[in-house]
Structure 1
């Protein structure tokens, strides 16, 4: 199976995530979790009581200044995934001095990718408004996403229109870390339809090529796009390897210097599972980004 889009998160990955989540209760946790906060008003006609929720993980230690904020967006081929599997990411970030926000968003077939991106944008706007209550700095919001969540994180960082439609003139995202990202150029992928099973992605993306382009981060990059970091598994799916390389090339052509790192031997699922370990290379680079003097403070 060559492409990540042929299936949802493997059973092995889901099982491993559940095991990791369970073991969280057996270790010391220097973080405070506020669970199941609605980021869309219950009066909203689109409100989903399951999917429009997020968890906040704040360090218990006192700080003299507001802390940087990282919003994590899960993967799952746009039709699966749940924030509850990823408590370990929230706790690892909080342990390292970051206020973490781990979100749910609506999934296919109930909605398509434009609505998923809209949900993620609303979660970021909630974060901007409320994160000060948890010790976070609303001027230092960064994104971290794996797989489909990596593609959504890239889209939010690059497409300012997602925030303008909610009355926010300035994109609040200060940078994005893309962990084995999927969907960076679905316009190109769906135009080709080269492989058996590709038609299933017309469920989350719909039949209109204009929409494929609209939700492909590749076509929203500019010289003013905030900093990006890309991490790609050395044994991941070819679609992710090739689109990530082209994404990096376009960023470079626009004058950026994105951090781009291939992790030898890593397949797609281990690229997110490795975030269980606090000193993982992705955390090291992410912390350097969010604490950079170039980041607003």
Structure 2
């Protein structure tokens, strides 16, 4: 089936867990993890005790200045995924001089994508308010996501209203790193319904085309939107390749100069699993993008 969202097969779940456990052992020493922080008050009527939580990963080495911050949003077709699978990303970023925040958010069928985006916005709001307590600089806050998480990261970067709703105006996001992003243009994708099984995405996105457009970053980017790094697998799903290329084309037409790299031979899931290795191309570009190069050298 050639849809552009990966099916989380049991083997991939096991592999992700093994990578996470191995990484906890291998790189825990250079970082500190503050786990399961609630990013909305437990007294909030909509509080979800599992999904409204995040983890913060902090370099153990002291720094004279506040460090850049990367908030990572996981993928999983908007109906699966958990921050705990991605501890290796938090550890790797912290080891390289970045304060990392890995978040959970509610999933379908419990909620639809607008509520997921709102959860992510509230996690960003918590980060801007509290990250200095962990050595992070709220003035250098970046978003990162894989697959569905990439689409959500792009949406929060481009749609200023999502963050303004929680008191963040102007938008505090300084840029976004998109790793094989899904959902950049669901308005186009769901109108075409060209692949078998596409009806399943009506669960997280609903049946209203106006909503599909509202949650598609393609229709929110402007000349003043914060910059993007886009990484696409050379052997990923065609729809991810196509929508990412269209996203880049629109940014260029608006006068932006996005970094756009196709990684030869990479399929969709390996695009995120490669982040286990510290020196891969995504980290190399990310560290320069967020201004962490000096901190990285000091941390090694």
Shared fold, TM over 0.5: yes
Matched, 1:148 2:156: no
Structure 2 residue 241 is matched with structure 1 residue 241: yes
2:272 corresponds to 1:290: no
Query: Secondary structure of the residue that 2:56 maps to in structure 1?
Result: strand
Q: TM-score, normalization: structure 2?
A: 0.95
Q: 2:116: which partner in 1?
A: 116
Considering only aligned residues, what root-mean-square deviation do their CA atoms show, in Å?
A: 1.1
Partner of 1:184: 184
CA distance in 1, matches of 2:17, 2:168: 37
Structure 1 counterpart of 2:20: 21
Q: Deviations over 1:92-121 (max 9, x none)?
A: 000000000000000000000000000001
Q: Distance in 2 between matches of 1:223 and 1:125?
A: 24
Contact 1:8 1:80 in 2 (8 A): no
Query: What are the residue-to-residue correspondences of 1:217-236 with 2, within 5 Å?
Result: 217-236=217-236
Aligned-partner Cα distance in 2 for 1:59–1:249: 37
2:161 is matched with: 161
- In 2, the alpha carbon distance for the partners of 1:292 and 1:171 equals 21
1:40 alignment counterpart: 40
CA–CA distance in 2 between the matches of 1:97 and 1:71? 14
2:121, 2:289 → 1: CA distance?
21
Deviation beyond 3 Å, 4+ runs, structure 1: none
In 2, Cα distance between equivalents of 1:55 and 1:26 = 17
* Structure-2 separation of matches of 1:259 and 1:276: 22
**Contiguous gaps of at least 5 residues in structure 2:** 294-300
Within the alignment, does 1:31 sit opposite 2:31 as a pair?
A: yes
Q: Number of residues paired by the alignment? A: 292
Counterpart for residue 59 of structure 1: 59
C-alpha change, 1:182 and 1:117, in structure 2 (3 Å) is same
**How far off its partner does 1:195 sit?**
2.0
Q: 52-61 vs 11-20, which deviates more?
A: 11-20
SS of residue paired to 2:14: helix
Residues 179, 272 of structure 1: 8 Å contact kept: yes
Deviation at 1:8, TM superposition (A): 3.3
Question: TM-score, with normalisation over the residues of structure 1?
Answer: 0.96
* CA–CA distance in structure 2, aligned partners of residues 177 and 169 of structure 1: 21
